[in-house]
Amino acid sequence: MPLTLAAFLVAIALLVAVHEWGHFAMARACGIKVLKFSIGFGPRVMGWTSKRSGTEYQIGLLPLGGFVKMLDEREAPVPDAELAFAFNRKPLASRAAVVAAGPVANLFLALLLYTCVNWMGVTEPEAIVSRPPADSIAAQAGFSGGERILQAGFLDDPLEDVASFEDVRWWLTRAALGSKALQLSFRPPHEATVRTVVLPLQSLDVTQADASMFNSIGFVSPYAPAKIGNLTPGGAAAEAGLLPEDRILQVDGLQIVDGAQLRDWIRHSGMHQLPAPQQWLVERAGQRLVIRVTPRQVHEADQTFGRVGAIVGGVPSMVQVRSGFWSGIRKAAEKTWEVSGLTLRMMGQILTGAASVRNLSGPITIADYAGRSAAMGLEQFMVFLALISISLGVLNLLPLPVLDGGHLMYYGWEGVTGRAVSEAWISGLQRVGLALLVGMMSIAIFNDISRLLS
């Protein structure tokens, strides 16, 4: 919990500071006087005032946001000597640049974070896939588990090298959400032959980008050997005589490919009836022996399944992924662009009803993922920050009143018609936008609580 809270506060403070700094820096560049720069809302916790510029810098009590207050005749009278520094007196292009600079700063932060991660390198699972579920797209395409993915690409596009399993997941995500067929070049286990297949992901009905999507595709997790880990005292595995590091070769004569297949077998054994005794062929210290194992039927969260009381599945084989100077920048730019596009497409699908509102996440889920990524190391925390920074940037560019994109929408109208949007219209639209934003946040928090209780 302390790590989760600390990671969440660091993430929010950094993302908000960068966003508001974008507005602040562009305002200063356009000759606009900034009265206050605040990280957080509510009562002032600490701060100072610059003697040179007169800008007040502060940290507010509520960390979920921030603001930049500029000199503006619409908010308070401005002395004649300072009229040239007022926001409302600046040209349309300057005002639009100031508004757009916040979201753009978040996108540049993501670019910087991705670049640093590429240069530093990150340890990820090798691009070897686990055994797919029997009715999945991958199983129908001929995958049986243990295949090493070498290259990937959309149909009719050149194939690109795949460095890790995370690369595979990224290709699958883009193809599924973009309704595109995906080509995969792979080498089957214990073979030198390279094969190529096409996964028809354009036909996949995707309403939620979650584990169920990858389960439908068939690539849920990287390959991990069917080994036994820590055992629960008194559990079925311990009572049967299984030991840590035992490798399971067969169950009732069925060849076991990997840990995912064994876990699936165990769970299904208790879904519809009490599990029957099973004959497990086990490899232990170079020797093979048969052990009789009877999984137990358990009931949790309205689900019934089998369990043996042990960690099932070994650690995936890992690889260090690192890029050179220019390739790291190029890959970071491509990732920022692609994630921005996917985020915008998903938001559009949510608004049109093509995607489930369950995709919306609020502060509880963000805090949870912040803690998890921080626990995994600096590189994973930086990747998490990049994803949230892109989401914040794209969200603020939406043409929704009260957001930066809403103000850009007003300026677009002014640029086309030559007339500013009236204060009456702005006031009405702001109320509508605020209601929509509160509604979205309410749904996001409801989703957070539902995930927490599930």
- Clarify whether 283 is annotated catalytic: no
CB atoms near residue 204 (< 10 Å): 16
The active-site residue out of 20, 124, 126, 147 is 20
- Kindly report the three-state secondary structure assignment for every residue of the chain: CHHHHHHHHHHHHHHHHHHHHHHHHHHHHCCCCEEEEEEEEEEEEEEEECCCCCCEEEEEEEEEEEEEEECCCCCCCCCHHHHHHCHHHCCHHHHHHHHHHHHHHHHHHHHHHHHHHHHHCEEEECCEECCCCCCCHHHHCCCCCCCEEEEEEECCCCCEECCCHHHHHHHHHHHHHCCCCEEEEEECCCCCCCEEEEECHHHCCCCCCCHHHHHHHCCCCECCCCEEEEECCCCHHHHHCCCCCCEEEEECCEECCCHHHHHHHHHHHCCCCCCCCEEEEEEECCEEEEEEECCEEEEECCEEEEECCEEECCCCCEEEECCCHHHHHHHHHHHHHHHHHHHHHHHHHHHHCCCCHHHCCCHHHHHHHHHHHHHHCHHHHHHHHHHHHHHHHHHHHCCCCCCHHHHHHHHHHHHHHCCCCCHHHHHHHHHHHHHHHHHHHHHHHHHHHHHHHC
Residues paired with 280 in a beta bridge: 251, 291
Asked whether the beta carbons of 196 and 212 are under 8 A apart, the reply is: no
Instruction: Please choose, from the candidates 391, 395, 403, 397, the residue with its C-alpha nearest in 3D space to the C-alpha of residue 433.
Output: 403
Asked whether the beta carbons of 22 and 106 are under 8 A apart, the reply is: yes
Instruction: Please choose, from the candidates 213, 25, 3, 220, the residue with its C-alpha nearest in 3D space to the C-alpha of residue 108.
Output: 25
Return d(Cα 62, Cα 65) in angstroms, integer.
Answer: 8
* Enzyme catalytic residues: 20
